[in-house]
């Protein structure tokens, strides 16, 4: 695609207009997943395994089916056989086959005339289990005597002799580690662990399914990506892709966790069997027990540094469990663990391990925060050991355009140095700290994503513009899309209406994930708008009887240009639109591509904490996020991404964890016990937007959503280290753990 380099002078981009869907969302009118219903609709409920690992001997639904109001029961027998690969994994995850693989694994489902009846019916389904030994810890799952989750799940990459629970193995690097470590004045080697955290979207998964015996169906659901839902549901149920139309509702948060399916195929199967629409809504404890949290990790890091602060070598071993299926994002962890720095000698080893836990799902920068926690902690220790400033040291090693990345290719223009310089210059970095207080710094990276994208624009008969995109609006992206269309057409922001098209109305779009929506849908809108303005220029040229090349589009008008174009009054978009029908018909523009010019985004965070020496409780005193947005289309929503990412990171670092009992059951499946940050835990989150334009986007956009969750884990751990003088190597930093560390120190 020919791009003439990012545009620099903007009329609308960079302003902060009100979001187009604001009114709906503050009045309660916006319809989210559970707000949809249909005439004749039944309600579904899912029976889940109470065991972490058990053979399913028999399921008897006779009594449930006899209950008044129960219309259908489905089990795995209602799904087609013979699936392979990830299709099989998803099918097995949404409805257990021979074994229940984790506490909360679905084993049967009911559709009834009310939700209460459906839930009552679950209690009447008799399941006979043979309980098997289980394992939920990544290191224990790799041990010789660990129970095997599933034989034959490992792929070709796993060397012989490893436990069958190791399902993928990876190794990468360059240079000569021994040489590199020999050049160092200080070498530090440490081990770290992080616990699984849940995305914690406030809206539980919800859908309404309507599938006929003819194989044609409709599905309404809250999802980050309705084409993904279509692909997964049709694969799991053996349907033809385009026979299922998926319409996304407004979405109440996702953070990666709604890029896959958990209940949708079950609702479709119930609907097919009952011959009526079925609504399925998860409870919070179902969300925590049976949807995908992120992976947990166990890591060994070794890094060397000269006394001037140059990193000479780095190596890391990363073991991650992603539940009872392959797919822990350890590939990304290894790729990004040392990606901030220019390191000659570097080596990574990664293990993807299965345990009796729910199938992990993406969570904001999946895989990156764990690795960063370990590597940025060791870097901090090196700085301390050598008496170096953490920002100066990072500047000395920071990657820039042309640096060969630790994962291979050379970096295009990136903004790490700029974020470090802004962080150093920010007043927060020089606030004087008091007793029991500490400051931490860390940087992080997300490479961002392009993905399959398709968008259309259509001119209304009054010259207003309809934009149809396939990426759902999860954080105000309609506003950025409308801004980009307004900019491309040169018309007021208010004259653009952005709709999210269903799968029957547009070509395939990947989800709103990977920080791709503003980048990729934005790019598609700009290109589609350019196609439309070319057509608008053609109509003006025809009217004026001149060549289309002699017409340009400027400020929402076609204008004659060039010395020989002639003298004509500009034609506004409204004037051309009013005559569309008689001058050649409707005018629209379309663009589809898989753009690969997504520029990665670096961020640097600075945090001050105070640790209560009596309780071990850590309080965040001030927090600064500096991150490269390339070009902030709507700066308020960019800041929002920075703040939200930072606070999720704060939760992961200080409170949030999956706690499994000896019995392999999740001990904290409600928000009271799985404690996400609340308003009174936090200060304001300060932000600085750095703009190093991305040459791969017409306006210079970089995705901003993911990077922000990566630096908080190490930044806070570094601040706690500064405050208490002890390096914490196990997340989360709960008060009892920090208190124990303080006691051990004294």
Give the interface segment with other proteins, choosing from 172-180, 196-204, 239-247, 582-590 (CB under 8 A): 196-204
| 498 touches 529 (CB < 8 A) | no
Q: 175 vs 253, which CB is nearer to ligand FES?
A: 253
646 lies in the site for other proteins, by CB under 8 A? yes
Would you give the DSSP letter of residue 273?
A: H
Find which of ligand FES, other proteins, none residue 528 binds, CB within 5 to 8 Å per kind: none
Among 34, 132, 274, 541, binds other proteins (CB under 8 A): 34
Q: In this structure, what are the phi and psi dihedrals at residue 368, rounded to the nearest 5 degrees?
A: -75, -45
Least Å distance, CB 42 to ligand FES, is 23
Q: How far apart are CA 504 and CA 488, in angstroms?
A: 27
Among residues 712, 728, 566, which one has the least CA distance to residue 653?
Answer: 712
Least Å distance, CB 672 to ligand FES, is 10
Give the interface segment with other proteins, choosing from 4-12, 188-196, 637-645, 735-743 (CB under 8 A): 637-645
Q: 474 vs 541, which CB is nearer to ligand FES?
A: 474
Q: How far apart are CA 243 and CA 258, in angstroms?
A: 22
Region of residue 415 (phi > 0: left; psi between -120 and 50: alpha; otherwise: beta): alpha
Q: How far apart are CA 111 and CA 121, in angstroms?
A: 9
Among 160, 684, 745, 746, binds other proteins (CB under 8 A): 684
DSSP for 28-86, written as a single string? T-S-BGGG---TT-EEEEEEE-SSSSEEEEEEE-HHHHHSTTEEEEE-GGGS-S---HH
412 lies in the site for ligand FES, by CB under 6 A? no
Per-residue x/- marks for other proteins, 498-537, CB under 8 A? ----------------------------------------
Query: Which helix (H) or strand (E) segment is 74 a member of?
Result: strand 70-74
CA 110 to the chain's CA centroid: 31
3-state secondary structure of 598: coil
Task: List, in order, residues 6 or more apart from 582 with CB less than 8 Å away.
Answer: none
Least Å distance, CB 202 to ligand FES, is 4
Among residues 366, 375, 386, 430, which one has the least CA distance to residue 714?
Answer: 375
Find which of ligand FES, other proteins, none residue 18 binds, CB within 5 to 8 Å per kind: other proteins
Q: 383 vs 481, which CB is nearer to other proteins?
A: 481
Task: List, in order, residues 6 or more apart from 408 with CB less than 8 Å away.
Answer: 172
Among 103, 137, 195, 203, binds other proteins (CB under 8 A): 203
Question: Interaction with other proteins in 64-83: which residues (CB under 8 A)?
Answer: none
Question: Interaction with other proteins in 11-30: which residues (CB under 8 A)?
Answer: 16, 18-19, 21-23, 25-30
Residue with tokens 């491309």: 488
What angle do the packed helices 264-274 and 85-94 form, to 10 degrees? 70
Least Å distance, CB 519 to ligand FES, is 21
Among 82, 672, 744, 745, binds other proteins (CB under 8 A): 672
Would you give the DSSP letter of residue 520?
A: I
Find which of other proteins, ligand FES, none residue 742 binds, CB within 5 to 8 Å per kind: none
CA 284, 659, 606, 379 torsion-angle sign: negative
164 lies in the site for ligand FES, by CB under 6 A? no
Per-residue x/- marks for other proteins, 467-496, CB under 8 A? -------xxx--------------------
Find which of other proteins, ligand FES, none residue 187 binds, CB within 5 to 8 Å per kind: none
How buried is 567 (Cβ within 10 angstroms: 0-12 exposed, 13-18 middle, 19+ buried)?
exposed
Q: 118 vs 537, which CB is nearer to other proteins?
A: 118
Per-residue x/- marks for other proteins, 284-303, CB under 8 A? x-------------------
> Is omega for the bond preceding 293 within 30 degrees of 0, making it cis?
no
Among residues 295, 372, 291, 358, which one has the least CA distance to residue 328?
Answer: 295
Q: How far apart are CA 252 and CA 704, in angstroms?
A: 19
Find which of other proteins, ligand FES, none residue 175 binds, CB within 5 to 8 Å per kind: none
Q: Which residue number places its CB atom closest to ligand FES? A: 202
35 lies in the site for other proteins, by CB under 8 A? yes
Binding residues for other proteins, how many (CB under 8 A)? Answer: 59
585 CB neighbour count, 10 Å cutoff? 8
305 lies in the site for other proteins, by CB under 8 A? no
Would you give the DSSP letter of residue 224?
A: S
Q: 679 vs 744, which CB is nearer to other proteins?
A: 679
Q: How far apart are CA 228 and CA 232, in angstroms?
A: 6
Give the pairing of strands 244-248 and 42-48. Answer: unpaired
Among 386, 636, 659, 726, binds other proteins (CB under 8 A): 636
Q: How far apart are CA 576 and CA 536, in angstroms?
A: 7
Among 58, 680, 745, 746, binds other proteins (CB under 8 A): 680
How buried is 277 (Cβ within 10 angstroms: 0-12 exposed, 13-18 middle, 19+ buried)?
buried
Q: 119 vs 535, which CB is nearer to other proteins?
A: 119
Least Å distance, CB 279 to other proteins, is 10
Find which of ligand FES, other proteins, none residue 679 binds, CB within 5 to 8 Å per kind: other proteins
| 199 touches 363 (CB < 8 A) | yes
Task: Show the tokens assigned to 661.
Answer: 């009992």
Beta strand extents in 594-647 (DSSP E only): 601-611, 618-628
Q: How far apart are CA 407 and CA 314, in angstroms?
A: 13
Least Å distance, CB 677 to other proteins, is 8
Least Å distance, CB 220 to other proteins, is 13
Q: 116 vs 202, which CB is nearer to ligand FES?
A: 202
363 lies in the site for other proteins, by CB under 8 A? no
Binding residues for ligand FES, how many (CB under 6 A)? Answer: 2
Sheet holding 345-353, edge to edge: 166-174, 345-353, 311-321, 296-305, 186-194
Sheet holding 618-628, edge to edge: 437-446, 601-611, 618-628, 685-690
Among residues 656, 682, 713, which one has the least CA distance to residue 721?
Answer: 713
Least Å distance, CB 377 to other proteins, is 23
Among 103, 195, 218, 250, binds other proteins (CB under 8 A): 250
Among 173, 204, 217, 248, binds other proteins (CB under 8 A): 204
Least Å distance, CB 66 to other proteins, is 16
Question: Interaction with ligand FES in 195-234: which residues (CB under 6 A)?
Answer: 202
Per-residue x/- marks for other proteins, 589-628, CB under 8 A? ----------------------------------------
Query: Which helix (H) or strand (E) segment is 267 a member of?
Result: helix 264-274
Among 253, 385, 613, 735, binds ligand FES (CB under 6 A): 253
Among 647, 688, 720, 738, binds other proteins (CB under 8 A): 647
Find which of other proteins, ligand FES, none residue 23 binds, CB within 5 to 8 Å per kind: other proteins
Least Å distance, CB 369 to ligand FES, is 20
Least Å distance, CB 476 to other proteins, is 6
CA distances to 51, 147, 203, 263, 495 from 105, rounded to whole Å, are 9, 18, 20, 11, 48
| 513 touches 257 (CB < 8 A) | no
Least Å distance, CB 106 to other proteins, is 19
| 80 touches 248 (CB < 8 A) | no
Q: CA gyration radius for the chain?
A: 27
Q: Using CB under 8 A as the criterion, which residues of the chain lie in contact with other proteins when the complex forms?
A: 16, 18-19, 21-23, 25-32, 34-35, 114, 116, 199-204, 250-255, 281, 283-284, 474-476, 634, 636-637, 639-641, 643-644, 646-648, 670-672, 676-682, 684-685
Residues that bind ligand FES (CB under 6 A): 202, 253
């Amino acid at each position: 695609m020919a791009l003439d380099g990012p545009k620099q002078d903007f009329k609308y981009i960079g302003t902060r207009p009100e979001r187009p869907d604001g009114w709906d969302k503050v009045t309660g009118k916006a319809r989210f997943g559970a707000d949809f219903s249909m005439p004749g609709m039944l309600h579904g409920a899912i029976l889940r395994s109470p065991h972490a690992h058990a053979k399913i001997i028999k399921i008897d639904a006779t009594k449930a089916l006899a209950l008044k109001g129960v219309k259908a029961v489905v089990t795995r027998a209602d799904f087609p056989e013979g699936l392979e690969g990830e299709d099989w994994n998803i099918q097995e995850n949404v409805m257990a086959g021979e074994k229940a693989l984790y506490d909360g694994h679905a084993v049967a489902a009911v559709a009834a005339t009310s939700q209460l009846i459906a839930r009552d019916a679950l209690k009447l389904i008799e399941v006979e289990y043979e309980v098997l030994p289980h394992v939920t810890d990544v290191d224990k799952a790799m041990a010789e005597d660990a129970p095997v989750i599933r034989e034959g799940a490992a792929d070709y990459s796993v060397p012989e002799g490893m436990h069958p629970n190791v399902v993928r193995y990876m190794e990468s690097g360059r240079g000569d580690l021994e040489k590199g470590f020999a050049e160092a004045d200080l070498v530090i080697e440490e081990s770290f662990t992080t616990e699984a955290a849940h995305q914690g979207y406030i809206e539980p998964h919800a859908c309404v399914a309507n599938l006929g015996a003819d194989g044609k169906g409709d599905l309404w659901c809250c999802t980050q990506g309705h084409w993904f839902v279509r692909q997964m549901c049709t694969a799991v149920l053996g349907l033809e892709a385009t026979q299922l139309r998926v319409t996304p509702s407004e979405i109440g948060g996702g953070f990666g966790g709604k890029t896959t399916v958990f209940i949708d195929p079950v609702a479709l199967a119930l609907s097919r069997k009952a011959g009526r629409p079925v609504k399925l809504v998860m409870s919070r404890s179902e969300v925590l027990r049976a949807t995908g949290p992120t992976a947990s990790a166990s890591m060994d890091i070794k890094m060397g540094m000269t006394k001037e602060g140059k990193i000479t070598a780095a190596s890391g071993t990363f073991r991650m469990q992603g539940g009872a299926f392959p797919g822990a994002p350890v590939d990304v962890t290894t790729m990004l663990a040392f990606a901030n720095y220019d390191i000659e000698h570097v080596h990574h080893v990664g293990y993807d391990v299965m345990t009796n836990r729910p199938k992990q799902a993406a969570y904001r920068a999946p895989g990156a925060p764990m690795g960063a926690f370990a590597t940025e902690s060791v870097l901090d220790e090196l700085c301390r050991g050598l008496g170096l400033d953490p920002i100066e040291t990072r500047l000395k090693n920071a990657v820039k355009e042309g640096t060969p990345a630790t994962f291979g290719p050379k970096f295009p223009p990136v903004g790490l140095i700029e974020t470090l310089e802004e962080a150093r210059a920010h007043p927060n970095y020089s606030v004087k700290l008091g007793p029991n207080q500490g400051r931490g710094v860390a940087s992080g990276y997300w490479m961002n994503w392009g993905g399959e994208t398709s968008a259309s624009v259509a001119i209304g008969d009054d010259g207003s513009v309809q934009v149809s995109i396939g990426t759902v609006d999860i954080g105000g992206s309609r506003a950025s899309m409308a801004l980009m269309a307004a900019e491309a057409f040169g018309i007021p922001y208010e004259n653009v209406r952005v709709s999210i098209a269903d799968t029957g109305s547009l070509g395939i779009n990947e989800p709103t994930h990977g920080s791709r929506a503003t980048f990729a849908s934005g790019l598609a809108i700009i290109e589609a708008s350019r196609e439309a303005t070319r057509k608008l220029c053609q109509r003006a040229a025809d009217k004026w009887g001149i060549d289309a090349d002699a017409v340009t589009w400027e400020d929402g008008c076609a204008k004659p240009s060039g010395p020989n174009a002639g003298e004509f009054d500009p034609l506004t978009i409204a004037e051309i639109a009013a005559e569309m029908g008689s001058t050649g018909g409707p005018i629209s523009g379309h663009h589809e591509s898989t753009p690969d010019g997504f520029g990665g985004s670096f961020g640097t965070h600075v945090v001050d904490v105070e640790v209560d020496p009596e309780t071990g409780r850590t309080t965040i005193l001030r927090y600064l996020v500096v991150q490269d947005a390339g070009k902030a289309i709507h700066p308020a929503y960019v800041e929002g991404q920075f703040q939200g990412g930072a606070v999720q990171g704060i939760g992961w670092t200080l409170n949030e964890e999956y706690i499994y009992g000896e019995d392999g059951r999740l001990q904290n499946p409600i928000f009271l016990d799985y404690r996400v940050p609340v308003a009174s835990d936090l200060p304001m989150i300060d932000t600085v937007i750095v703009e190093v334009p991305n040459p791969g986007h017409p306006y210079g956009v970089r995705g901003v959503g993911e990077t922000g969750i990566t630096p908080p884990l190490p930044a806070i751990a570094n601040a706690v280290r500064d405050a208490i003088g002890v390096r914490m190597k196990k997340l989360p930093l709960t008060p009892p753990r920090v208190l124990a560390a303080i006691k051990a120190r004294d």
